[in-house]
């Protein structure tokens, strides 16, 4: 029997915590393992969406407390959406969980959303969630 994999696109903020929470629920529902990926382009001195060592430790602790088999990866790549999609393919993910951010109408026109690009580029279902 093949084990399913839930890939969580994690950021150390409310959106990433929503993705984590829903990803754990989805993994339990599917009896799946979890691969959590935190990615950055690495083109800025500070990227608040890239988890530091303490945040990764907290993520590992939360996943361990869930009792679900898991892996955590931090990735530096030229394109965050591509990094998530590549990680999903490599892990054999059966579903991807992403947190959605609110964006202004201008932001929607000018800037591409990582979540949107994952939704459009994924070969597997994507669960897009918002913080409560």
| Confidence at residue 81, expressed as pLDDT on a 0 to 100 scale | 94
Structural domain including 117 reads: 5-129
| Confidence at residue 101, expressed as pLDDT on a 0 to 100 scale | 78
Number of separate domains in the chain: 1
In Å, how far from its chain's centre is CA 4?
Answer: 16
- Output 56-64 pairs: Cβ under 8 A, ≥24 positions apart: 59/10, 59/12, 59/20, 62/20, 63/20, 63/24, 63/34, 63/36
Q: What is the CATH number of the domain that holds 32?
A: 3.40.50.620
Nearest partner of 89 among 35, 129, 23, 50, judged by Cα? 35
Angle, vertex CA 38, rays to CA 103 and CA 11, nearest 5: 40
Please report, in tens digits, the pLDDT of each residue of the chain (132 residues total).
Answer: 568 999 999 999 999 999 999 999 999 999 999 999 998 887 655 566 777 788 889 999 999 999 999 999 999 888 999 999 999 999 999 999 999 877 666 555 544 588 889 999 999 999 999 998
| Confidence at residue 52, expressed as pLDDT on a 0 to 100 scale | 77
* pTM of the shown model: 0.88
């Amino acid at each position: 029997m093949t084990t399913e994999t839930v890939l969580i696109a994690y950021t150390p903020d409310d959106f990433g915590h929503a993705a984590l929470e829903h990803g754990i629920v989805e993994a339990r529902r599917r009896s799946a393992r979890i691969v959590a990926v935190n990615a950055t382009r690495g083109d800025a001195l500070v990227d608040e969406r890239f988890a530091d060592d303490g945040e990764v430790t907290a993520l590992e602790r939360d996943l361990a407390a869930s009792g679900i088999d898991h892996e955590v990866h931090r990735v530096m790549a030229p394109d965050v959406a591509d990094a998530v999609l590549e990680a999903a393919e490599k892990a054999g993910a059966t579903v991807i969980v992403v947190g959605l951010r609110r964006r202004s109408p201008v932001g929607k026109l000018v800037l591409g959303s990582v979540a949107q690009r994952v939704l459009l580029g994924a070969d597997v279902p994507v669960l897009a969630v918002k913080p409560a």
